[in-house]
Amino acid sequence: MKKLYNTVKSSLAFKVLIGFVLGILAGLFFGEMTSVLGVVGLGYIRLFQMPVIPYILVSLISGLGKLNFTAAKGIFIKGGIVLLSLWMIIIVVLLLIPFGFPSWESASFFSASLIEPEKSINFLDLFLPSNPFHAMANTIIPSVVTFSVAVGLAFIFIPEKSTVIEVFSKLSDSLMLITRWVAKLAPIGVFAIAANAAGTLRFDDFERLQVYIILHGCISLVLSFWILPRLITVFTPIKYIDIINSVKNPLATAFATSNLLVVIPILVDNSKKLIENIKINNFETEEEESPLDVIIPASFNFPTMGKLLSLGFIPFAAWYVGSPLSTTQYPTFLLAGIAVLFADGTLATTFLLNLFKIPVDMLTLYITVEIFTGRFGTLVAAMHTVVLGILATCAIQGLITVRRKKIIRFIITSILLLALIVGSIHFTYTYFFPSNYTKNQLLSNLELLRVRNPQPAKVAKIPPIINNLDEKETEGSRYEQIKANNLLRACYLQDDYPFSYFNSQGDLVGLDVEMIHILARELGLKLEFIPLEEEVNERAEIAAYLNGNYCDLSIPSLALTPQATEVVQFTHSFSKRTLAFVVKDYKKDQFTNWQELQKNKNLRLAIPANVPYYIAKLKGLLPDAEVVVTKRKIRDLLVANSNEFDAMVLPAENASAWTILYPSNVVAVPQPIVSIPVGYMLPKNADSLADIINVWLDLKGEDGTIQSLYNYWVEGNVESIKKPRWSIIRNVLHWIE
């Protein structure tokens, strides 16, 4: 026991591990109350980050400045070869990752990524700073490295530079000392970070993402503790145990903080000691200096293996939403992925999600899984940094030993180990822990968001019998009649997901339904919902309900068209719908671009609404397509397995909700997008009613009501109504409510 105590007391790695475990336990015990520790964790990370950018700057300048031109050339050539070799390893790993995904059925709510144009990254701004001080202030590391390398290379050709170089070397030493001081606070900082993460991450999020987290974590551990350190032992005399003992403390800190920058100075220092132990220090410079001072900081211009491993989220996201990447997409995925990861990981992920038309709500899941995978990725990145520095230094010194049998044995063992992990995870989750598709239940269980206790509203389920299309004579204006009866009547469609539909409790819900609840409440009126005929798909038919005085407004928020204004009146447009197609998942790639669609001369499209204006617009975009107006229910069209139609035309906002219910279908939005303004339909001569509702819509737009309801019903942002996260103090001990 005393020996264990002394080991823990003297080992920073053990202290960090203990802090990490205690943090997780605290998060599980206190739940979301641990969010207050986020400030402590952030403060710790910033303390660690404080010397890093200056360290990269001064170490690169001093390291390069001491070299001659030939030595500098050797560093970049041989370091580049090692870096490319490490990239080849991670590319093989990325190709293996999708084989670990089990079969799932899934779909997603509407996402802005479906309609956003593709984003590009400005590599000039990323790598060539017009203002290096701006780059340093904004942590644009590639720009900082480019500037530092330029200054360091310039010093190579300047005589009598020793005094300046010495100043930079001493600055580098002082920054290293600051890092060591801050490292002593690691157990406290790690405790705060782990407690905040464990207390705020929801279990349902973890349950949905555990396949990727476990797959990523297992592969990261194999890379960090087998493949990468074994690369050093295969090509150099350094022993495996010496490597692990040397890097265990910075690796533990990197894993716990999920930040590579904070351990870079320590990794450089420990790597130097490893090289010194095997007497590799005959590099010819003005002073005996290790190339590590140049290689490791310079490597920040390029993605690490840990960062590249995060690309595995893209095929996971495509698989998760039910549209796996095709074989032909993988070359684009790998080339574009490596290129964009020179930038920020979140920006790169956003770019790739847009590139492959994966809903950007997956970006939220990416940020969630980064709580876990980011730590494992940082672990790989830290070991990548060590391997790059040591192997490149050995290559420069001419001390790389090529032993074919040992290399072949290492390659075969590594591939078999990776294949075993990937295959085991696929088999386990496919046959022992199959995942049930539940997102359709989420949509079906949604309740009103802002109207938590709605006034009793009469909801009729049988449409009235419409006698004719003539407007009935009424005394006074429509609004005066509404006030006199103290009743607002709204026509609705029963299956207009996600705008009006019946949830699993039998309540009429949806964005438009909730809007009318709020309108009636603020006008002090009772509320009644009148169903439209299920087969209604003509604006004139809806006008019969309105002008016949069966209802006062229609809450399918419909497209504003010139023809419709001949028989009804519209409110102001308060939102837009996006022209889209619902197709079987294997057809999605065919419907992502209007120009490509125009090449298909045999398209047959179903449209479940007779809107001449937009049918004409569709025909203008696809003149050779056959557009069939059908009165068949959307539900029937989605479950049909026939090839009667190539696609169904629906607004993307509606289509996304339908694909949640029927996940074998997907939404395709051709670029450039076609947006359609929508509003509520009112009786033809209801000017006073229209004025009141238009003012109300303006107010609800300004106070954020419309946007919050849109986020909730259309985009599926339901975080605001979730109950507090499970915790021991709340759900087991019941000490708090």
Residue 393 sits in the same domain as residue 458: no
More confidently predicted of 340 and 250:
250
Mean pLDDT score of the chain: 82
Percent of the chain with pLDDT over 90: 21
Residue range 416-440: mean pLDDT, rounded: 85
Residue 587 sits in the same domain as residue 707: no
Instruction: Give the pairing type, strands 665-668 and 575-584.
Output: antiparallel
CA 519/CA 699 separation, integer angstroms? 11
- Give residue 6's pLDDT band: very low, low, confident or very high (50, 70, 90): low
Amino acid making up residue 36: V
- Whether residue 335 contacts residue 302, with contact meaning beta carbons closer than 8 Å, is answered with no
Q: Could you tell me how many helices (H) and strands (E) the chain has, helices first?
A: 31, 14
Residue 357 sits in the same domain as residue 221: yes
Residue range 261-281: mean pLDDT, rounded: 75
Q: Is 540 helix (H, G, I), strand (E, B) or coil?
A: helix
Would you state the pLDDT for residue 119? 57
- Whether residue 266 contacts residue 48, with contact meaning beta carbons closer than 8 Å, is answered with no
Range with lowest mean pLDDT among 194-198, 204-208, 557-561 = 204-208
What string of DSSP letters covers 679-725? Answer: EEEE-TT-HHHHHHHHHHHHHHHHTTHHHHHHHHHTS---GGGPPPP
Would you state the pLDDT for residue 501? 93
> For residue 165, is it within any domain?
yes
Would you state the pLDDT for residue 284? 44
- Give residue 286's pLDDT band: very low, low, confident or very high (50, 70, 90): very low
Q: Please name the helix (run of DSSP H) or strand (run of DSSP E) that holds residue 307, with its range, or none.
A: helix 305-309
Highest mean pLDDT among 298-302, 324-328, 575-579, 639-643: 575-579
- Whether residue 428 contacts residue 101, with contact meaning beta carbons closer than 8 Å, is answered with no
pLDDT exceeds cutoff 80 at 307: yes
More confidently predicted of 164 and 52:
164
pLDDT exceeds cutoff 70 at 33: yes
pLDDT exceeds cutoff 70 at 367: no
> For residue 48, is it within any domain?
yes
Would you state the pLDDT for residue 283? 44
> For residue 228, is it within any domain?
yes
Residue 391 sits in the same domain as residue 467: no
- Whether residue 35 contacts residue 196, with contact meaning beta carbons closer than 8 Å, is answered with yes
Q: How many structural domains comprise the chain?
A: 3
Residue 588 sits in the same domain as residue 518: no
Closest C-alpha to 214, from 31, 440, 435, 27: 435
Residue 153 sits in the same domain as residue 231: yes
- Whether residue 267 contacts residue 250, with contact meaning beta carbons closer than 8 Å, is answered with yes
- Give residue 722's pLDDT band: very low, low, confident or very high (50, 70, 90): low
Would you state the pLDDT for residue 219? 95
Amino acid making up residue 244: I
pLDDT exceeds cutoff 80 at 478: yes
- Whether residue 401 contacts residue 236, with contact meaning beta carbons closer than 8 Å, is answered with yes
* 316-329 confidence digits (pLDDT tens): 988 877 677 878 78
CA 218/CA 418 separation, integer angstroms? 9
DSSP 593: B
CA 500/CA 348 separation, integer angstroms? 37
The domain of 66 spans 2-86+125-401
pLDDT exceeds cutoff 50 at 285: no
Domain of residue 670, CATH code = 3.40.190.10
Which CB contacts under 8 angstroms, 24+ apart, belong to 588-594?
Answer: 588/323, 588/357, 588/666, 588/668, 589/326, 590/668, 591/647, 591/668, 591/670, 592/357, 592/668, 592/669, 592/670, 592/671, 593/670, 593/671, 594/621, 594/622, 594/670, 594/671, 594/672
* 583-620 confidence digits (pLDDT tens): 887 787 788 788 888 888 889 998 887 677 778 888 88
CA 590/CA 603 separation, integer angstroms? 11
Could you tell me which residues are beta bridge partners of residue 593? Answer: 671
* 662-676 confidence digits (pLDDT tens): 888 888 888 888 888
CA 17/CA 11 separation, integer angstroms? 10
> Nearest 10 degrees: CA dihedral of 389, 392, 398, 401?
90
> For residue 444, is it within any domain?
no
> For residue 150, is it within any domain?
yes
Show the CA angle centred on residue 305, arms to residues 304 and 310, nearest 5°.
100
User: Does this model's pTM top 0.75?
Assistant: no
> For residue 418, is it within any domain?
no
pLDDT exceeds cutoff 90 at 300: no
Residue 317 sits in the same domain as residue 372: yes
More confidently predicted of 198 and 217:
217
Residue range 428-438: mean pLDDT, rounded: 78
Residue range 29-50: mean pLDDT, rounded: 82
Phi-psi region of 549 (alpha: psi -120 to 50; beta: other; left: phi over 0): left
Residue 695 sits in the same domain as residue 670: no
Would you state the pLDDT for residue 195? 83
Q: Is 326 helix (H, G, I), strand (E, B) or coil?
A: coil
Residue 714 sits at φ, ψ, to 5 deg, of -90, -45
What string of DSSP letters covers 384-429? Answer: HHHHHHHHHHHHHHT-----HHHHHHHHHHHHHHHHHHHHHHHHHH
> For residue 432, is it within any domain?
no
Would you state the pLDDT for residue 346? 64
Would you state the pLDDT for residue 599? 87
* Boundary of a domain, candidates 677, 706, 731: 677
Phi-psi region of 573 (alpha: psi -120 to 50; beta: other; left: phi over 0): beta
More confidently predicted of 622 and 162:
622
Percent of the chain with pLDDT over 70: 86
Residue range 256-285: mean pLDDT, rounded: 71
Residue 172 contacts by C-beta under 8 Å, 6 or more apart in sequence?
A: 55, 58, 59, 62, 293
Residue 654 sits at φ, ψ, to 5 deg, of -70, -45
Range with lowest mean pLDDT among 211-220, 294-303, 677-686 = 294-303
More confidently predicted of 693 and 319:
693
> For residue 733, is it within any domain?
no
Residue 396 sits in the same domain as residue 492: no
Residue 511 sits in the same domain as residue 582: no
- Give residue 642's pLDDT band: very low, low, confident or very high (50, 70, 90): low
CA 161/CA 155 separation, integer angstroms? 7
Would you state the pLDDT for residue 395? 84
What string of DSSP letters covers 644-677? Answer: S-SEEEEEHHHHHHHHHHSTTEEEE-PBSP-EEE
pLDDT exceeds cutoff 90 at 57: no
Would you state the pLDDT for residue 42? 78
Residue 139 sits in the same domain as residue 265: yes
Would you state the pLDDT for residue 84? 92
Q: Is 324 helix (H, G, I), strand (E, B) or coil?
A: coil
Cβ neighbours of 664 (radius 10 Å): 14
pLDDT exceeds cutoff 60 at 4: no
* Boundary of a domain, candidates 401, 419, 442: 401
Which residue matches tokens 């132990």? 277
* Radius of gyration in angstroms for the set of CA atoms belonging to the chain, rounded to a whole number: 31
Residue 256 sits in the same domain as residue 295: yes
> Nearest 10 degrees: CA dihedral of 393, 90, 49, 206?
-150
Residue range 615-630: mean pLDDT, rounded: 86
